[in-house]
Amino acid sequence: MGKPFKLVDTTFIEKALDATALRQQVISDNLANVNNPDYQAKSVAFDKQLREAMDHDNAKGKPGAFTFESNLPKHLQLEQMGGWTKENLAPTMETVDGAIDVNTEMASLAKNQILYQAYTSKVSGIYGALKWVVENSGR
């Protein structure tokens, strides 16, 4: 079910938070299996998809932006015509070749924690500003 209205669009931040949560799990799994020779290391791909979706969102409605128009009835049209958009953006897990380097994984873990804190701080700021507007709107 969709949201009835949206004052502030936090879709990209929400998806980025989902990516950091998945990345946390993947890094934890990699570190837990560092001595397991049968384990295939994994990583999360999201940054390039986020950039593509943001570029697509920024170009929407501008001259030269790609739009796909179909004459087919709506029920026969493909929902996703390729490319990352705000609607279909999602982090993906990939298998990484090679041995797991504990130092690299720990650095990735620290970077991921900083990103998570930045994203949650941004969301908190947005909703804090909205709270202030609601509380002070009657003055």
98-130 pLDDT, tens digit per residue, is 889 999 999 999 999 999 999 999 999 988 888
Q: How many CA atoms lie within 13 A of 124 on its CB side?
A: 6
Q: What confidence tens digit (pLDDT) does each residue in 38-97 have?
A: 899 999 988 888 888 878 777 766 655 555 555 666 665 555 455 667 677 788 888 888
- Strand (E) or helix (H) holding 43: strand 42-45
Query: What integer pLDDT is reported at residue 117 of this predicted model?
Result: 96
Check if the beta carbon of residue 78 is closer than 8 Å to that of residue 68. no
What beta strand segments (E) does 11-91 contain?
42-45
